[in-house]
């Protein structure tokens, strides 16, 4: 058995039967036919909670490479291999003057994990710039190509999440704009920060810098405190339900969604309202003091303990608000 503690950002002391680092696609194709199930593919392990040992093989994706597939005067199609660190790839694009990724700076994880969750932040989602996903069907070991529509993207959801364990994402191609001028900076927190810095028409570098500063002020560094970022999804409720809740909680914020009859409510507001923000248990784990969405492992917590805390929060939110809170991370 091998320790998984250094292979996921929660830093839980869990074991795996075997751990194999993937530096090339060939390694995966060579190892898979002789690997017994269960097996698991990890990037940075930034969206997983191990509640028990994994009695199988864990493949750690370290396949790197960034290349231009095609470009015109205004547009560039950029392919990134799935083991690239997401933030490094975003900053590479920003430095090259390729717009579209800057709002997604400092999100932990790898490029390959990004489409699974349809990661998003500050008014932008991955689906907004994704052109194609190249993936291996783990049953047939054949390469399959998925355009944006085939990925079936939804809020923190995708075809790959719905078919977890069936595909290994090899690379992702993005459509980006060759401009230094930012297009997406109207998200409330982002615009407020830029206003405070007296930045009126921000460049993509300035937006990336702002996103990094905001995230660092609110979110714990997983290298220092074990966590997996946002533990819960922001729930989407009917506008009728929201109006009922407003009678008791008049300051409850909300965000518009594509479906006109629904509204998105910040999970952090619900959790903080119930007094969980900053709560710690035995000084070992709890809810982060700066961001109620983030559950943290301060010292030697087990996955089962953190899961139990998340379950307590889900039940409390259901009782108080009649809202079903969903976990964003994968529980194993």
Paired with 296 in beta bridges are: 227, 286
Q: How many CB atoms lie within 10 A of CB 64?
A: 17
Which residue out of 82, 230, 305, 327 is catalytically annotated? 230
Residue of 264, 266, 292 whose CA lies nearest to 277: 292
Find out whether 153 and 127 touch, Cβ atoms under 8 Å. Answer: yes
Which residue out of 46, 156, 206, 327 is catalytically annotated? 156
Residue 276 token pair = 């969980």
Task: Using the CB atoms, write b or e for 207-228: b if 16+ within 10 Å.
Answer: bbbbbbebbeeebbebeebbbb
Find out whether 207 and 117 touch, Cβ atoms under 8 Å. Answer: no
Residue 305 token pair = 């303990």
Find out whether 168 and 134 touch, Cβ atoms under 8 Å. Answer: no
Measure the CA dihedral 47/52/55/59, to 10°: 20
Which residue out of 102, 125, 305, 328 is catalytically annotated? 328
Helix (H, G, I), strand (E, B) or coil at 13: coil
Does 215 participate in catalysis according to the annotation? no
Helix (H, G, I), strand (E, B) or coil at 27: helix
Does 328 participate in catalysis according to the annotation? yes
Does 156 participate in catalysis according to the annotation? yes
Residue 233 per-residue DSSP state: P
Q: What is the rounded distance in angstroms from the CA atom of residue 293 to the CA atom of residue 305?
A: 17
Bridge-based pairing state of the strands 75-81 and 48-49: unpaired
Q: What is the rounded distance in angstroms from the CA atom of residue 205 to the CA atom of residue 94?
A: 6
Active site residues: 156, 230, 328
């Amino acid at each position: 058995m091998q320790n998984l503690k250094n292979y996921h950002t929660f830093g839980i002391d869990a074991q795996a039967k075997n751990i194999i680092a993937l530096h090339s696609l060939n390694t995966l194709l060579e190892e898979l036919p002789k690997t017994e199930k269960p097996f698991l593919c990890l990037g940075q392990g930034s969206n997983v909670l191990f509640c028990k040992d994994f009695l199988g093989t864990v493949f750690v994706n370290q396949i790197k490479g960034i290349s231009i597939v095609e470009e015109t005067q205004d547009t560039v199609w950029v392919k990134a291999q799935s083991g690239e660190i997401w933030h490094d790839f975003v900053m590479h694009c920003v430095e090259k003057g390729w717009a579209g990724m800057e709002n997604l700076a400092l999100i932990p994880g790898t490029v390959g994990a990004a489409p699974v969750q349809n990661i998003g932040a500050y008014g932008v989602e991955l689906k907004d710039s994704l052109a194609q996903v190249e993936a291996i069907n783990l049953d047939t070991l054949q390469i399959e190509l998925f355009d944006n529509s085939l990925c079936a993207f939804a809020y923190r959801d995708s075809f790959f999440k719905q078919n977890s364990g069936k595909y290994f994402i090899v690379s992702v191609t993005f459509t980006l704009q060759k401009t230094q001028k930012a297009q997406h900076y109207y998200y409330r927190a982002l615009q407020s920060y830029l206003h405070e810095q007296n930045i009126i028409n921000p460049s993509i570098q300035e937006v990336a810098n702002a996103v990094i500063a905001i995230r660092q002020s609110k979110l714990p560094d997983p290298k220092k405190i074990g966590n997996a970022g946002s533990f819960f999804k922001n729930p989407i409720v009917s506008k009728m339900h929201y109006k009922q809740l407003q009678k008791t909680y008049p300051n409850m914020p909300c965000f518009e969604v594509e479906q006109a009859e629904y509204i998105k409510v910040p999970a952090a507001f619900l959790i903080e309202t119930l007094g969980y923000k900053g709560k710690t248990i035995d000084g070992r784990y709890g809810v982060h003091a700066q961001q109620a969405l983030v559950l943290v492992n301060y010292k030697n917590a087990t996955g089962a303990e953190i899961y139990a805390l998340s379950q307590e929060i889900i039940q409390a939110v259901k009782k108080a608000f009649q809202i079903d809170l969903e976990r964003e991370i994968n529980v194993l």
